[in-house]
Amino acid sequence: MSPMGFAVHRQARHLQNVIDDNSLYDDEWDMHSGELPPSSIVRPVPIWLCVFLVVSYIIAGAFMFSEWEEWSFLDSAYFCFITLTTIGFGDFVPAQGVKNDSEISIALCSLYLLFGIALLAMSFNLVQEEVISNVKSVARRLGILKEEEMDD
């Protein structure tokens, strides 16, 4: 988002940075044709990679919590998914049965959840940008969006 609250697409920001970069005004890039050198083409993150990272993080957390809390693997995976998606039913609570070092257990759980929620938010944002880009591409091919509406 821009400071004014308008959505600024990642590709649009990158393209403007490439155009503004004075080092590109050489033989690789013709300023008048508008074509960019191959090294400056933006490649979006594949959706499968985002899904793989999120699933891997949940599985790693499930192994971690099944060892720490002595929960079953499915209970640990359920806890990780419910907590990372911020649903949080409260039926599983970490460090509840731990008598010794409960502060360390809660601190490690908090770090896991902090990085996990950030990973989920980043993945959702990347997937959202890719889906919007694909939908706009299909809408342009079908004639629903006109050329002047491309940047909206």
Asked, for residue 11, whether it belongs to a domain, the answer is: no
pTM of the predicted protein model = 0.68
Q: Which of 59, 91, 50 is nearest to 77 (CA)?
A: 59
Q: What is residue 4's predicted lDDT score, i.e. its pLDDT? A: 46
Q: What is residue 42's predicted lDDT score, i.e. its pLDDT? A: 67
Contact at 8 Å (CB) between 79 and 92? yes
DSSP string, the chain: --TTS----HHHHHHHHHHH-GGG-STT--TTT-PPPGGG---PPPHHHHHHHHHHHHHHHHHHHHHHS---HHHHHHHHHHHHTT---SSS-TTSS--SSHHHHHHHHHHHHHHHHHHHHHHHHHHHHHHHHHHHHHHHHHTSS-GGGTT-
CA atoms of 148 and 152, how far apart (whole Å) = 8
Asked, for residue 85, whether it belongs to a domain, the answer is: yes
CATH number (domain holding residue 127)? 1.10.287.70
Asked, for residue 30, whether it belongs to a domain, the answer is: no
Asked, for residue 72, whether it belongs to a domain, the answer is: yes
Asked, for residue 103, whether it belongs to a domain, the answer is: yes
Q: What is the extent of the structural domain holding 91? A: 47-142
Task: Tell me how many domains the chain contains.
Answer: 1
Asked, for residue 76, whether it belongs to a domain, the answer is: yes
Counting as low any pLDDT under 50, the low residues of the chain are 2-4, 6, 8, 12-14, 18, 22, 24-25
Tokens of 145: 């969006």
Asked, for residue 124, whether it belongs to a domain, the answer is: yes
Contact at 8 Å (CB) between 96 and 110? no
Q: What is residue 95's predicted lDDT score, i.e. its pLDDT? A: 81
Asked, for residue 70, whether it belongs to a domain, the answer is: yes
